[in-house]
Amino acid sequence: MKGPSRRLFLQFSGLAALVAACAPRDGKAHGDAFAVLRRRWVEITLGHPGTFDAEREPYRTRLARLGAEARRHRDTMAPTARSLWPDLPFPSLGATPARLRAMARAYALPGTGLTAEPGLGTAVATGIGHYVRHVYAVDAEQTGNWWDWQIGTPRALLDAAVLAAPHLTDAQGAALCEAVDTFVPESRLDDYEGNSTGANRVDLCTVTLLRAIAGADPGRAALAASALSPVFRYVTEGDGFYRDGSFVQHGSVPYQGGYGAVLLTGLATLFAVLRGTPWEITDPAARTVLDAVDRAFAPFVHDGACMDLVRGRGVDRRPFGDHRRGREIAAAVLLLAETAPEAERVRWRAMVKGWAVRDTAKPMLRAAEGAAEGAAQGAAQGGDLAFHARLAAVLRDATVPAAVEPAGHRLFPMSARAVHRAAGWCAALSMASSRVAHYEYGNGENLRGWHTGSGMLYWWARGHGDHYSDAFWPTVDPYRLPGTTVSTRRLPGGAGGEWGDTRPPAEWVGGTTDGVYAAVGQHLYGLESTLEAFKSWFFLDDAVVCLGAGITCRDGVPVETVVDNRRTGARFTPGTGWAHLEGHGGYVVPAGQFLRTLREDRTGAGVTRAYVTLWLDHGVDPDAAGYVYHLLPGASRAGTAARAADPGWARVLANTSAQQGVEVPSLGVTAVNFWAGGRVGGRAGALTASDPCALLVRDLGDGTATVTVADPRRALDGLTVTWDRPVAAVTREHPLLDRAETGARLTLAFGALAGREGASCTVTVRLAAPAA
């Protein structure tokens, strides 16, 4: 297979002009190492020789388009004191450097018609020199967003400089290096705090490495590698990775589908570029990144799309942004796999293949092909020529199976998120707590995301991978997001504050899971509202049982619980105590509750979409109101009606502001969220808890049972739970189990659960036959 020519890569040994302008005295001692770094940077960001055939489709067309774009930029460049191109007046911090980088990539890539063309290389060098002189200068005042000056602009300029290095003069190279050193000094990486954490830290390290490559500076190369170490450490608050798989940026926003994807892309690139050099990343804690693929990222990718509940303010940007982020994560995973151990490489390639095969809403390979010319501006854009080639190779490889989505439940108490997968459907829950924002607004984005943390329940039945992708956010009623309980008080855009400054005082947010089923709860405080409520979700095989209690508000407006709000024109069938949406699923609403419905077309951002909304009206200023309903994803109309006719299938054991619990005999499940300690009766045996906790008991049907408990508040020094069921013995303990008593009933005494960060503890017991 043909690829970038040997001559093309050999020309990067001609970086001497840039190196001579910027190199410290000891740079020569590392000359060979920097030659490797320069070659690796080109190979990793543009594609290894042989990665793709520039003479075959789709690469031939995409490369030709990139070349045509670069030619237009070269031919229309008209440097003045006010602009480099007439249509981009200075400072144009994002657009002008991006054009220069696109031109440099056309110079470096094969098949563009401008490969290694001196006139294009000189134009890139001229543009860099001009921009550094008039905008990104050592004496320039940093205005606007800090990111543009310290990450976006220097990365694009340095990337372009490395790619077109043979054409930079000594003066141009020196001026660029000096400017970068002004805005991104080495001291920028001294402290891991503020906006030098998480994804921002990875970006700053990338800029530092590019500066090191440009100047053959071993000190900066070492700094770029060593300054990544704080990113690898698990955190207990603020930005970074948590042991439960959460990833947070901006202090309180779950962000795998934004900053997290940028971080993963950056780390995969740096691992590959630095491998085998004196600055190879050897920190043992880097294992966190490999673990994060499976623990932090994969759970939030559904059929190739990254779920919106971990995309922060980015949900408001463009249609199908969730699929674009999914491709970005897939690209990072495939790149990371190239330097990962064999077990991870095999597993991840199968996982990405499964995502691509199931993504019928926005087929991943086709979308990567269509984005290739734009993504040639950087791998962080969510898919480039190299990603397309890697993905195509995986899809062609018959030895790589397409992994199915793993069934089961994943709970992320430190980021107030939950993901549940069962046969034919997937659901995800977004909550807010004293640690996690209701929503993120910033830079004018996501002005109306107020209630996404009020218990929004996303769900996908088979074939609905585009449900939240296709203009959902600009057209949905923001006061009626599915699953939420809200005050209908009107709110201004950006209410609550910017950058995730919308954390309520709630401590009990989270739940417990045995990996198959889950009891999840949220002590809800409304955003800029007097609303308070207790909400629970019990995730099962074919249903989510939803309870609400203690719903109290004094806003002087109606309070609603939104059973669902589907973007669909599907046939809607109401029944007695149930309703059904054809092709989507069903809803069971037990007697005593009036399910309101609305079918409407809604318009936003110039598009119109059909919606079916179902909600329960709690009235104006409710006092201790409540609700019960069952969501049945993918259920047929007959199946929904049959479930409604079987009220004993899921028995509500308690639904108050003290406890909420259900019992599902057919599954052997009894689960209770204890907002306060107490006792809840059940046919399978009453459950008692000494303190607030989440408790899930499951009779496995083989003479054994599991008892799973968690402390969502992270406050308990000790907890005692009792199950009124004869138990013969404890067969599998947990390290925090201090004492167990068996016999006519089971008593378990746990130690300090507070240190578990809301994670679940499971004990397995052997059941005894009840007394005759």
Positions marked catalytic: 200, 250, 259
Structure tokens belonging to residue 610: 């059909």
Is the CB of residue 601 less than 8 Å from the CB of residue 642?
no
User: Distance between CA atoms of 306 and 539, rounded to whole angstroms?
Assistant: 21
Q: How far apart are the first and last CA of the chain?
A: 77
**DSSP β-bridge partners for residue 612:** 566, 599
User: Distance between CA atoms of 768 and 772, rounded to whole angstroms?
Assistant: 12
Is the CB of residue 709 less than 8 Å from the CB of residue 513?
no
Is the CB of residue 373 less than 8 Å from the CB of residue 66?
yes
Helix axes 261-274, 321-337, angle to 10 degrees: 20
**DSSP β-bridge partners for residue 545:** 538, 630
User: Distance between CA atoms of 540 and 456, rounded to whole angstroms?
Assistant: 18
Structure tokens belonging to residue 553: 């508000």
User: Distance between CA atoms of 393 and 437, rounded to whole angstroms?
Assistant: 41
User: Distance between CA atoms of 500 and 438, rounded to whole angstroms?
Assistant: 7
CA 184 vs. chain centroid, Å, equals: 28
User: Distance between CA atoms of 292 and 255, rounded to whole angstroms?
Assistant: 13
What type of residue is 165? A
Is the CB of residue 251 less than 8 Å from the CB of residue 420?
no
What type of residue is 423? A
Is the CB of residue 100 less than 8 Å from the CB of residue 156?
yes
User: Measuring CA to CA, which residue among 451, 489, 620, 454 is closest to residue 552?
Assistant: 620
User: Distance between CA atoms of 27 and 247, rounded to whole angstroms?
Assistant: 38
Helix axes 153-163, 95-108, angle to 10 degrees: 20
3-state secondary structure 513-568: ECCCCEEEEEEEECCCCCCEEEEEEEECCCCEEEEEEEEECCCCCEEEEEEEEECC
3-state secondary structure 18-76: HHHHHCCHHHHHHHHHHHHHHHHHHHHHHCCCCCCCCCCCCHHHHHHHHHHHHHHHHHH
Q: What is the CA radius of gyration of the chain?
A: 28
**DSSP β-bridge partners for residue 442:** 445
Within 397-440, residue ranges assigned H as helices are: none
Place of tokens 């006010």: 82
